[in-house]
Copies of this chain bind each other. A is one copy, B any other.
Amino acid sequence: MPADSPSSLYAEVRRTRSAELSVPPASSPREQAESRILEAAECVFACHGYRGSTLKQIAEVAELPKANLLYYFGSKEKLYVHLLEQTLTRWNASLEDISPDDEPREVLEALVRVKLKLARQAPQASRLFAAEVISGAPFLRDYLSGDLRDWVQARCDVMKAWMAAGKLREAEPMWVIYLIWSTTQHYADFAAQIDQLGGAPQSDEDWEQLADFVASTLCDGLCPRQP
């Protein structure tokens, strides 16, 4: 029975915490506790999904009494939903608009780089999302068929324009998006496998080369060659 010790999980928290420069100091006790709880919860939920996670374990990782989590978040479900919403908000902030006048190669390459950056900086968030979707997206149905669908539809329209102009391979535009999403998220979601099999990017240069490889391979595959 392979058990993940709280210590190993906490190590992951600390690794992320020190790397996370975006969050301000958070002075008030409420903010301090909440962010501490959210960090721990992201760690545990990302690992075991909603149903597989326990408040006890989250409390241990956060080094706070269990009753404290419930004092601030009310219930396991509210904590989980809060975390999902926080993740989607942060992701949205790093996405840029595109227009039919842009050069497909540049846009696709930029998207690959942003996604890979997220996979590196916030792998837990990616795994949280993945676990939620694998379990049938019970809490994300509305988001998927609402905001995200709109976002995606806009990109599809642009891509159709590119295809009509002969600047992009003819295909179902969604499949192009899935090509980019899957290849980039893979490095966050399947990190455990990649660590065992090899090829895991470590240094900044590794990640840079990986981004170059994925971006140029997909671009060469998707964009008709110019003579």
Cβ-defined contact, A197 with B152, below 8 A: yes
Contact B192 A174, beta carbon cutoff 8 Å: no
User: Does A179 lie within 8 Å of B217, measured CB to CB?
Assistant: yes
The one of B52, B145, B177 that contacts A48, using a Cβ cutoff of 8 Å:
B52
Say yes or no: A149-B213 contact (C-beta < 8 A), given A133-B190, A220-B220. Answer: no
Give the residue of B50, B141, B179 whose beta carbon is less than 8 angstroms from that of A196.
B141
The answer to whether the Cβ of A77 comes within 8 Å of any Cβ in the partner chain is: yes
User: Using Cβ atoms and an 8 Å threshold, which residues of chain B touch A136?
Assistant: 4, 47, 192
Q: How many residues of A sit at the interface, in one of the four size bands?
A: 35 or more
Given the known interface contacts A174-B199, A181-B186, the answer about A137 and B193 at a Cβ–Cβ threshold of 8 Å is yes
In the complex, chain B residues whose CB is within 8 Å of the CB of A51:
48-49, 51-53
> Which of chain B's residues has its CB closest to A134's CB?
B127
Tell me the bound Cα distance from A53 to B49 in angstroms: 10
Chain B residues whose C-beta falls within 8 Å of the C-beta of A182 in the assembled complex: 182-183, 185-186, 190
Distance in angstroms between the alpha carbons of A11 and B220 in the assembled complex: 42
Contacts A1-B77, A196-B141 known; A179 to B214 CB distance under 8 Å?
yes
A138 within 8 A of B: yes
- Besides A133-B189, A182-B186, 5 new A-B residue pairs in contact (Cβ under 8 A), listed by A number: A47-B134, A137-B193, A175-B214, A179-B183, A182-B183
Which listed residue, B187, B222, B225, touches A225 by the CB 8 Å rule?
B225
* Residues on B with beta carbons closer than 8 Å to the beta carbon of A214: 175, 179
Q: Which residue of B lies closest to A137 (CB)?
A: B192
Nearest CB of B to A79, in Å: 13
From B77, B186, B209, A178 is in contact (CB under 8 Å) with B186
Per-position 1/0 for A118-151, Cβ under 8 A of B: 0000000001001101111111010011001100
Contact with B along A31-45 (1 / 0, CB 8 A): 000000000000000
